[in-house]
Structures are given as C-alpha cells and as structure tokens.
Structure 1
C-alpha cells in the first residue's frame, strides 16, 4: 500500500473529508487533493503535521506501511508490585526508650554561682563607636 492510500485510509477512519483533514493539519486543501490523486508525494513537513495532529497514528505504519494503523496503548499501573518486593522480610524492632533525667544538682550549683557573683562593671557601646563604662558602687 502506498503512502497516499494510507493517508486516504486515515481520512476515512477518522470520518473526515480531505478538506477538513487539510484544515486540521494546517496545509493547503489543494496539497491534500494532489497527494490523494497521486500527482504529488507527501512531504516530510506534511507527514510531521499529520503525526502531530493525530498522535495515536503509528509513524511506522504511516511511513512504511508496517504494523497497525493505531498505536496500541499499554496501560501501566502507577504502582505495579514487583515480585522481588514481596520476598523482602521486614523486621520491626520496638524502639529503645532511654530515660533522660536532668541532673538537678548541676542546675542548682549554676544558680548559686550566679547569685553569689556580683557585677564588676557594665560597658555600653554606641553606634558612633563610643562607649560608657559603669562601675557599681563608685
């Protein structure tokens, strides 16, 4: 079967007229008429336009005449289960809980050391790079 005959078959299977087919793929109506009459051969540009507008058409069928006219759609499931994953053994171990008790004596010592200390001096820095120093009790 020649490519002209395959294009004619495509047009009839899609229930289109040659005029409507030309409009869909975006070519001159006379171009389709000349191809179907055998006057001209389909150009690469025309074949690309057909395949772009009719993505279900098999490019191998359109170009070479081999295979089926329409691509067979293989529907894949999103989460196919592989047999290897069924053989994996999963061991669930209970979590180990450790008791974290705070050392209260350390905190008490720190509090006592802060309370026992006295302020020696306070320095305030200003944005203009000057500072003031305060010494308590003086």
Structure 2
C-alpha cells in the first residue's frame, strides 16, 4: 500500500464533511493541520490516534476502513431503532430533552442512523429541503461538532429553529453561525455560539402527506 492511498481515504472523509483540510484538522482537535499535509505528501500514513480522533467526531466513519481501506467508508446503520416520537411542532418546544416532556409514542425505523428523538416540523422556510409537516429525526450534539451545510435544530433562549448551518466567514464574526432558509427570499439569521443553548443534528426526515 502506498501512502498516497492513505491520503485518498482521508481526502474522501474531508470532502464528505464539506470542510477544508485546515478546518477539518481544527474540528478533530489537532493543534496544527501539518500532519494532514504530511500524509498528503506521502510521508506518513494514518495513525490509529488520528483515525480515532476522526471517528470520535464522525462516528459514521469506519475506523477499520480508515486504517486499512477494507470495507466501506460509512459504518453500517443500526438495522432497527426505536425512537421516542413527539407529535408536536419542534418550533414550539424548547424543553426537548426534559423529563417533563412525554413522547406521544415510539417509531421503529430500519436503516437510520442512531438518534435521540423525533418531532414534526411545520416550517415552510425550508420547504425545498424538508417539506412542512415532515417528521425530523434528531441527534443531540454540540457546536464543536457542526458539519457546515447540514441541517440542525438550534435551541436559544428565545426560539427553536430548524435551519441549514454554515460558519460566518468574516473574522469580525468569529464563533458565529449563519442559519440559512431554503427560500432565497428569506434573510439568513446570524447567531453567536454563546446564544446556542442546545443543538441537534437532523439525521433524517420523513415526509408526511
């Protein structure tokens, strides 16, 4: 095996995460991204420590595949999951993981990533991507694990909102996120990391007709 094959696998993960090499290195906790460029140059392979850093941040990625190239990049999903389901609009529910909030029932779902709960979303602002009335399946995460360009439910002191998240590019707005709607006529929302009380990644959605 050539070292370039290590970089090919690493590059696949970086592109899958929709990040640059530098932002990816920072995201997985590297103080410098030099080790990634050393792999790109063919000087090193993927160490077990690096592979573990990646899979700790991205549990969807197969540790064995990273190290050996055998199998598939993405882990096999749990074939059947039983997920707490709350038959209410997520935008009206700030106490999402409170013990006082009782689920309406459970959903048994095959071939879906591990998640924590499911709610309805009636937000027409993202209708082009997630149809209003859909059930969204959510996994609790934190702001350090955000993957740009993916959908998240953000809980703040004043509202709960489902949007596509990106990082603010300007250095003036460090540690801020851009919350984008699917409708181009609607303005994006700029949100500081400190305003985020809870955050959930949308792992799947189910249209309800």
**TM-score by structure 2 length?**
0.35
Structure 1 residues 48 and 77: alpha-carbon distance in aligned structure 2, compared to 1, 3 A threshold: closer
1:21-69 alpha-carbon deviations (Å, 9 max, x no partner)? 1001111211111111212223221111111111100112111112211
> What's the secondary structure of 1:48's corresponding residue?
helix
Give structure 1 regions of 4+ aligned residues with deviation exceeding 6 angstroms: none
Once residues 19 and 58 of structure 1 are traced to their aligned partners in structure 2, the CA distance between those partners, rounded to angstroms, is 22
Aligned to 2:57: 53
Aligned to 1:96: none
> What's the secondary structure of 1:33's corresponding residue?
helix
Relative contact order, CA 8 A, sep 6+: which one is greater? 2
Q: CA deviation at 1:77?
A: 4.5
Identify, as 1 or 2, the structure richer in strand.
2
Q: What aligned pairs does 1:15-34 form with structure 2 within 5 A after superposition?
A: 15-27=18-30, 28-34=32-38
Identify, as 1 or 2, the structure richer in helix.
1
Aligned to 1:43: 47
Once residues 50 and 72 of structure 2 are traced to their aligned partners in structure 1, the CA distance between those partners, rounded to angstroms, is 20
RMSD: 2.1
Gapped runs of 5+ residues in structure 2? 83-105, 109-209
Aligned to 1:13: 16
Structure 1 residues 76 and 44: alpha-carbon distance in aligned structure 2, compared to 1, 3 A threshold: same
> What's the secondary structure of 2:45's corresponding residue?
coil
Once residues 11 and 63 of structure 2 are traced to their aligned partners in structure 1, the CA distance between those partners, rounded to angstroms, is 15
For this pair of structures, how many residues does the alignment match? 80
> What's the secondary structure of 2:75's corresponding residue?
coil
> What's the secondary structure of 1:8's corresponding residue?
helix
Once residues 51 and 17 of structure 1 are traced to their aligned partners in structure 2, the CA distance between those partners, rounded to angstroms, is 17
Gapped runs of 5+ residues in structure 1? 81-138
Deviates more, 1:66-75 or 1:18-27: 66-75
Aligned to 2:74: 70
The answer to whether the 8 Å contact 2:6/2:39 transfers is: no
